[in-house]
Structure formats: C-alpha cells, structure tokens
Amino acid sequence: MTPEGRDLLVRLLARRGEEIVEGATDWVIGEAIDLRGQRPREETRELVARVIEGNEAALLQEDGQPLAAFVEHVVSLRAAREFHPSTVLRGLLSFRQVLEGMLRAEGGDGWAALDVLAAVDAVYHGAALQVADLYAVKLTEAVQRRRRELEVELGRVAEEGQRALAEKLATIEAQRQELATLSSPVLRVWSGVLVAPLVGEVGAARAELIRERVLEAIVEDGAHTVLLDITGLVRVDAQVALDLLRLTQAARLLGARGMLVGVSGAVARTLVALDVDLGEVPAFASLEDGLREALQPASGRRSTGPRVGSAAG
C-alpha cells in the first residue's frame, strides 16, 4: 500500500471505526440466510469486529496471523455445526463492502482510495483461499468424529434384542447417507466461482451425488467457473477420470467451465499411463493457481488449460 493509501485508511479507521463495525455487521446479517433471526446480533458483531481487526493488522502492521487464526477458528465451528461456508466468506468480505461505500461517499484522493481497496482485496483473496483449504479438512474431521460416535453407539446397543438392533442399523444407514452428502460440499469462494473439494473414495454412487450437487450449485449461483479440487482423493483411476470429464461436460452445458486443481505429478503420470485424455479441461497443480485463473477478467483468461495427458513431469 502506498503512503497515501495507508494514511487514508488510518484516518478512516480512527474517525469511523465503530460505524464500519456496525455497518459490516448489518450487511452480514442481511446477506447470510443462516443468521437471520437465528443468532444474537452482538455475537455476529463480535466476529465482524475480529475480521476488521485482522484486516487492520494485515494492512497496517503486515501481520497476517490474527486473521489467519480467526479464519481457522470460524471454519472449525462452521464445519462442525452448520455447514454454511458462505457465511464465513461474507464475514470476511464485510469490511471491504462497507469500506468501499465510505470511500465513495467521502471522495478525496481517488488513487489513494483505489490503493486501499486493492490492498483489502489482496487480504481477502488470501483468507478466501485459506477457507477453501481448511473447510475440506475440517469437514472430514467432523465426519470422522461423527462416525466414531456412531460406532460407539452401535457397540452400546449390541446386547439389545434383534428388533432394537435393526432399528439402530436403519438409523445408522440414514446417518451414513447424510454424511455422504455433507462430505461433498460445493463452496462459493467468489462471485461466479465455485470450489468442489473431492475427498476420499469416489465410487459410482458418490460420483452421481457430486455431479448433482455441483450442477445444482451452478444453477443456483449462476456460476461461470467450478474448480474440482482432487487433492484429497485417495485414488484416481480411469473411472474417476471419466466421471470428472462427464462432470465438466455437464457444467459446460450450463454455461460454466470446469477446471481440475490439485493435480499432482503422481496423478498426472497415472492418467498418462491410463491413456486418459481430459480434452479441453484446464488443469492446475494447486487450488491457488486455479482460483487465480478463475478470477482473471474474461478477456485475460487462457482459452484452455494444459492437457493432463501432457503433464507427466
């Protein structure tokens, strides 16, 4: 940030700090469907204040640790309880949302204001990437924890009669199906950009579930890009590759381009050995690289990503 932008931000936080917190809190509550009437306003305000403090530390002290710690804390809560990552992202965006309005209203040095917003955007992008990386991990931990709880419960009722055991098994099966749904999240990380973290094994039934959730999310969000993050897949074979190809083709029919991220060298070599050609599907080694490509203006995007079949190195 330039000295002019820094001075502008310092003055604005000093004069209108409380107003920024209140406005950001109102914006989050108004936009997040799981907060409307469900939580005390003061609780949301406290979290928003921590977001602003984290931005202030990152922008003015070049210390990103407070915001990173806050993101990990909130993502852990969301993954364990409510499965609404969009609210986390809105909370992170709230500071920028209110700050832009104030800068526009006050006028003044337009270049300094633009510099401030660019710096805030850079902080948000880093935090959004952290949310995307952490959410899959925390969700997997939550699923495993619930599975252990179910196993304990099954052991407790093992000595009961056959009818009681059958009822418990039916309950466990319903919960297993719920866990399968929760382990296939589709995250909105930016306007028009979705991330689908694929974790564990992907069999025929789960591939169909993932396809349904991704296509529904594309339609609901009006997304133009969906990033399929295969970092957490246990195995990538010919059938999995074919499922991924079909998913990107279906996304294209809805007007969204599909991209593979988290493609390791080992996965690339496997696909080459299987003689799998993913056609015109862009592929990237990391989620960050794919998200950076997705966030480029349409005119600056590459027409296609590298073919996985050529990424054997």
- Alpha-carbon distance of 236 to 62, in angstroms, equals 40
Q: Span 53-65, mean pLDDT? A: 92
What is the structure's pLDDT at 31?
84
What is the structure's pLDDT at 192?
92
Q: Which comes out higher in pLDDT, residue 102 or 298?
A: 102
User: Does residue 191 share a domain with residue 98?
Assistant: no
Q: Answer yes or no: is 163 within a domain.
A: no
Q: What is the pLDDT of residues 28-52, one digit of tens each?
A: 888 876 666 667 888 889 989 999 9
Structure tokens given for 5: 């932008």
Q: Answer yes or no: is 172 within a domain.
A: no
User: Does residue 283 share a domain with residue 222?
Assistant: yes
User: Does residue 127 share a domain with residue 15?
Assistant: yes
What is the structure's pLDDT at 223?
94
Q: What is the pLDDT of residues 95-154, one digit of tens each?
A: 999 999 998 887 777 899 999 999 999 998 998 888 888 877 777 777 777 778 777 887
Q: What is the pLDDT of residues 89-105, one digit of tens each?
A: 888 889 999 999 998 88
Q: Answer yes or no: is 85 within a domain.
A: yes
User: Does residue 8 share a domain with residue 130?
Assistant: yes
Q: Answer yes or no: is 170 within a domain.
A: no
Torsion, CA 138, CA 34, CA 194, CA 224, rounded to 10: 180
Q: Answer yes or no: is 202 within a domain.
A: yes
Q: How confident is the model at residue 305 (pLDDT cuts 50, 70, 90)?
A: very low
User: Does residue 129 share a domain with residue 53?
Assistant: yes
Q: What is the pLDDT of residues 177-218, one digit of tens each?
A: 555 554 568 888 889 999 999 888 888 888 888 999 999 999
Domain boundary among 77, 109, 136: 136
What is the structure's pLDDT at 306?
41
What is the structure's pLDDT at 30?
85
Q: Span 296-311, mean pLDDT? A: 49
- Alpha-carbon distance of 124 to 15, in angstroms, equals 23
- Which range marks the domain in which residue 79 is found? 3-136
User: Does residue 192 share a domain with residue 131?
Assistant: no
User: Does residue 223 share a domain with residue 297?
Assistant: yes
Q: Which residue has the tokens 């310092």?
A: 10
Q: How far is CA 25 from CA 9, 169, 187, 207, 240, in A?
A: 19, 44, 22, 38, 43
Average pLDDT over the chain, rounded to an integer: 82
User: Does residue 127 share a domain with residue 22?
Assistant: yes
Distance of CA 90 to the CA centre of its chain: 11
What is the structure's pLDDT at 175?
55
User: What single-letter DSSP state applies at residue 300?
Assistant: G
- Domain count for the chain: 2
Q: What pairing do the DSSP bridges indicate for beta strands 193-200 and 187-190?
A: antiparallel
User: Does residue 90 share a domain with residue 8?
Assistant: yes
What is the structure's pLDDT at 79?
63
Q: What is the pLDDT of residues 240-287, one digit of tens each?
A: 888 998 999 999 999 999 999 999 888 888 877 777 666 678 889 998
What is the structure's pLDDT at 232?
86
Q: Answer yes or no: is 158 within a domain.
A: no
Predicted structure pTM score: 0.45
Q: Answer yes or no: is 203 within a domain.
A: yes
- Alpha-carbon distance of 51 to 27, in angstroms, equals 13
User: Does residue 115 share a domain with residue 225?
Assistant: no
User: Where residue 103 sits, what CATH number does that domain have?
Assistant: 1.10.490
Q: Would you call 38 exposed, middle or buried from its count of C-beta atoms within 10 A (0-12, 13-18, 19+)?
A: exposed
